[in-house]
């Protein structure tokens, strides 16, 4: 609607802006500058007059708007009208009147004509500055009133909505838990009144500042009027005297028609704000008194509930501790039998320890959860919201800690499947080392150089256990091509028999080491291989021992282990010859 108004207004103004305006006729004596100023003034005057044709209430859809929207439309219209009136007033005071004074002094022969022309802009005429000031006063007061009405309507609507919500909440709560609901309602009302009190105190502070500013402005206008009166009495120029008298009337009209009414309105609002502050303080005091009374009553009820809670919680704790203690004792007996068993290997015992700690933790969680739910039910506390919240938290944790859950699940299956145990030498994800710790989340194993590798269970892709149940020593030996294979095999068989017959290695070797014969032909050697099945983790010691024994045996039997030769050729003698 506003855009339509502005478009129609613009088209209408274009048709009205003509050289002759408001009955003011130009004659031959006026300078071009004066004609231009007066034409500009009359154009603005026409715009201000035409604007009244487009007041919001004159449009058909105005009454269909809500009350607040109607006031907003009127406020916007008055602000535009106020801006036009101020522009008109400034044209007179800042341009036309100073130019009349200048022209009167420069061309005294035009003084009578100038005096007549100035009369058109003073006194009670339609174009007079006094009439403009009265219109400005009226529109400015209208803007102030509309602002306050819109503010009151919005505040009333907000208070009604808050009051409705407060009554509805209080009514629903009072049917279930009267005292607690009433206390909550009173706290909400107190917070509401406290917020309103702070708001009113802020308004009062602002109004006090505006009151001081308005009072100072009135005093300033009064001093300005007295100064103009003194000047008008002393001036001799008739045009200047007429303009000064007009300014005196305008200042008095502004003082009595705008500044003083504004000050009175501000004082009224100050009085209302002070009354509202006292009202809110009294309501807050009443709420605090009622709250204190209800608090005493609630304390008595809480004491009764506290006694019951102590008995219920104490019984629950006793049952929980008994169940956990009995379960722990049963577990200790089982683990004790496992420890004493000679049929189980150490890594299996360690696995049983780990599994039992997991089972015991799950039992504790279940027992404590059951005890908490029983206590809540006995104390008549609704635990449904806690269950919903726990479900939401579990879901959030599940999404946010997927990798952790994956690690724990993988670790559980690693323990159940017994893929490796403490002390095993393993290769995991390309890294090798001895397993030092197995938990539900990570695996820790130390490499040969002392590096401790920590890998989350969920990231394990490939596992190679080099010490699972038994191991195998693999020894590769190269001999020169001049050696007979039968002789080499005979020496290797003899070394293997000697080693298996050595008491120091009988418990380490599960089977007798076996030469496999020729396995490949190298650049300078024929490669033989010897295999020996050993206890888990002893394959490296067996390999070292076999290397030593084979080297000594080859030396005794004249079997050459080839190595690279470097031939140096001296060509100097050939050149001399």
Contact 469, 484 (CB under 8 A): no
**Alpha-carbon distance 226 to 220, whole Å?**
10
- Name which of 203-207, 287-291, 363-367, 420-424 the model is least confident about: 420-424
Mean pLDDT, rounded, for 357-366:
76
What pLDDT was estimated at residue 398?
Answer: 60
Which residues are CB-neighbours of 377 under 8 A, at least 6 positions away?
383
Query: Is the model's pLDDT at 529 over the cut of 90?
Result: yes
Q: What is the pLDDT of residues 462-518, one digit of tens each?
A: 888 877 778 888 999 989 888 889 999 989 899 999 888 888 888 888 888 989 888
What pLDDT was estimated at residue 547?
Answer: 92
Mean pLDDT, rounded, for 394-398:
62
- CB burial of 87-107 (b: ≥16 within 10 Å; e: otherwise) equals ebbebbbebbbebbbebbeee
Report the half-sphere exposure of 117 (CA within 13 A, side-chain side). Answer: 23
Confidence of residue 18 (pLDDT cuts 50, 70, 90): very low
Higher pLDDT, 349 or 12: 349
* DSSP secondary structure of 302-347: HHHHHHHHHHHHHHHHHHHHHHHHHHHHHHHHHHHHHHH-SSS-HH
Contact 218, 262 (CB under 8 A): no
Mean pLDDT, rounded, for 508-537:
88
Q: What is the pLDDT of residues 536-567, one digit of tens each?
A: 888 888 989 999 999 999 889 988 888 766 66
- Tokens matching residue 134: 């009265």
Question: Average pLDDT over the chain, rounded to whole?
Answer: 78
Strand runs labelled E in 439-574: 442-446, 452-456, 463-465, 471-479, 514-521, 526-534
- Tokens matching residue 98: 């100073």
Query: Is the model's pLDDT at 12 over the cut of 60?
Result: no
Q: What is the pLDDT of residues 98-128, one digit of tens each?
A: 888 888 888 888 888 888 888 888 877 666 8
What pLDDT was estimated at residue 11?
Answer: 39
Strands 452-456 and 471-479: unpaired
Q: What is the pLDDT of residues 37-71, one digit of tens each?
A: 888 888 888 887 787 777 888 777 777 788 888 88
Confidence of residue 13 (pLDDT cuts 50, 70, 90): very low
What is the three-class DSSP state of 64?
coil
What pLDDT was estimated at residue 21?
Answer: 38
Q: Label residue 427 exposed, middle or buried (CB < 10 Å: 0-12, 13-18, 19+).
A: middle
What pLDDT was estimated at residue 188?
Answer: 84
Q: What is the percent of the chain with per-residue pLDDT over 70, rounded to a whole number? A: 82
First-to-last alpha carbon distance for the chain, in angstroms, is: 123
Query: Is the model's pLDDT at 451 over the cut of 90?
Result: no
Q: What is the pLDDT of residues 241-264, one digit of tens each?
A: 888 887 888 888 888 887 888 788
Closest CA to 373 of 313, 307, 301: 313
List, in order of start, the domains of the chain with CATH numbers: 1-176 (no CATH), 471-556 (3.30.70.100)
Highest mean pLDDT among 159-163, 222-226, 352-356: 222-226
What pLDDT was estimated at residue 574?
Answer: 53
**Alpha-carbon distance 86 to 260, whole Å?**
19
* DSSP secondary structure of 177-211: -HHHHHHHHHHHHHHHHHHHHHHHHHHHHHHHHHH
* Signed CA dihedral, 217, 220, 225, 228: sign only: negative
Give 479's strand partners: 526
Count of C-beta atoms within a 10 Å radius of residue 147 = 12
Query: Is the model's pLDDT at 16 over the cut of 60?
Result: no
**Alpha-carbon distance 358 to 379, whole Å?**
32
Mean pLDDT, rounded, for 181-196:
82
Which residues are CB-neighbours of 505 under 8 A, at least 6 positions away?
499, 542, 545
What pLDDT was estimated at residue 17?
Answer: 39
Residue with tokens 């120091």: 504
**Alpha-carbon distance 192 to 169, whole Å?**
14
**Alpha-carbon distance 80 to 90, whole Å?**
15
Mean pLDDT, rounded, for 2-23:
43
Closest CA to 420 of 409, 435, 441: 435
**Alpha-carbon distance 571 to 552, whole Å?**
40
Q: What pTM was estimated for this model as a whole?
A: 0.42
What pLDDT was estimated at residue 10?
Answer: 44
3-state helix, strand, coil in the chain (%, to 5): 70, 10, 20
Confidence of residue 530 (pLDDT cuts 50, 70, 90): very high
């Amino acid at each position: 609607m506003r855009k339509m108004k502005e478009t129609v207004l613009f088209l209408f103004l274009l048709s009205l802006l003509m050289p002759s305006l408001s009955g003011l006729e130009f004659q031959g004596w006026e300078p071009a500058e004066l004609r231009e100023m007066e034409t500009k003034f009359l154009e603005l005057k026409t715009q201000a007059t035409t604007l009244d044709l487009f007041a919001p209430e004159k449009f058909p859809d105005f009454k269909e708007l809500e009350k607040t929207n109607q006031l907003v439309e009127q406020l916007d219209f008055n602000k535009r009208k106020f801006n036009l009136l101020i522009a008109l007033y400034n044209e007179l005071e800042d341009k036309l009147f100073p130019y009349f004074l200048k022209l009167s002094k420069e061309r005294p022969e035009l003084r009578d004509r100038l005096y007549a022309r100035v009369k058109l802009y003073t006194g009670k005429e339609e174009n007079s500055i006094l009439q403009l000031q009265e219109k400005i006063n009226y529109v400015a007061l209208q803007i102030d009133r509309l602002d306050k009405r819109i503010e009151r309507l919005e505040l009333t609507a907000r208070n009604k909505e808050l009051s409705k919500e407060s009554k509805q909440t209080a009514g629903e709560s009072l049917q279930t838990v009267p005292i607690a609901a009433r206390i909550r309602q009173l706290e909400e009302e107190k917070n509401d009144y406290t917020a309103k009190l702070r708001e009113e105190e802020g308004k009062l502070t602002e109004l006090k500042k505006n009151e001081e500013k308005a009072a100072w402005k009135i005093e300033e206008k009064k001093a300005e009027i007295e100064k103009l009166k003194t000047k008008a009495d002393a001036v001799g120029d008739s045009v200047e005297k007429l303009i000064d008298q007009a300014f005196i009337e305008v200042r008095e009209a502004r003082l009595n028609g705008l500044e003083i009414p504004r000050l009175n309105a501000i004082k009224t609002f100050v009085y209302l704000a002070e009354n509202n502050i006292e009202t809110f303080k009294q309501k807050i005091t009443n709420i605090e008194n009622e709250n204190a009374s209800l608090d005493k009553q609630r304390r008595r009820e809480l004491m009764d509930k506290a006694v019951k809670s102590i008995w219920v919680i104490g019984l629950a704790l006793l049952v929980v501790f008994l169940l956990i203690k009995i379960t722990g004792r049963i577990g200790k007996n089982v683990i004790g039998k496992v420890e004493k068993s000679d049929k189980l290997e150490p890594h299996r015992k360690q696995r049983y320890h780990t599994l039992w700690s997991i089972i015991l933790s799950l039992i504790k969680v279940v027992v404590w959860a059951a005890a908490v739910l029983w206590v809540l039910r006995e104390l008549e506390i609704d635990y449904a919201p806690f269950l919903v919240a726990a479900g939401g938290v579990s879901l959030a944790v599940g999404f946010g800690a997927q990798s952790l859950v994956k690690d724990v699940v993988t670790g559980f299956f690693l323990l159940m499947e017994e893929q490796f145990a403490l002390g095993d030498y393993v290769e995991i994800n390309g890294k090798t080392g001895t397993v030092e710790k197995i938990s539900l989340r990570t695996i820790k194993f130390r490499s040969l150089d002392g590096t401790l590798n920590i890998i989350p269970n969920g990231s394990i892709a490939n596992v190679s256990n080099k010490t699972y149940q038994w191991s195998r020593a693999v020894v590769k030996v190269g001999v020169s091509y001049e050696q007979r294979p039968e002789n080499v095999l005979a020496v290797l068989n003899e070394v293997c028999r000697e080693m298996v017959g050595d008491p120091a290695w009988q418990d380490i070797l599960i089977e007798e080491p076996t030469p496999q014969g020729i396995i490949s032909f190298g650049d300078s050697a024929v490669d033989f291989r010897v295999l020996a099945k050993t206890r888990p983790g002893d394959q490296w010691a067996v390999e070292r021992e076999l290397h030593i024994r084979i080297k000594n045996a080859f030396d005794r039997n004249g079997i050459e282990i080839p190595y690279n030769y470097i031939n140096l050729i001296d060509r100097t003698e050939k050149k001399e010859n």
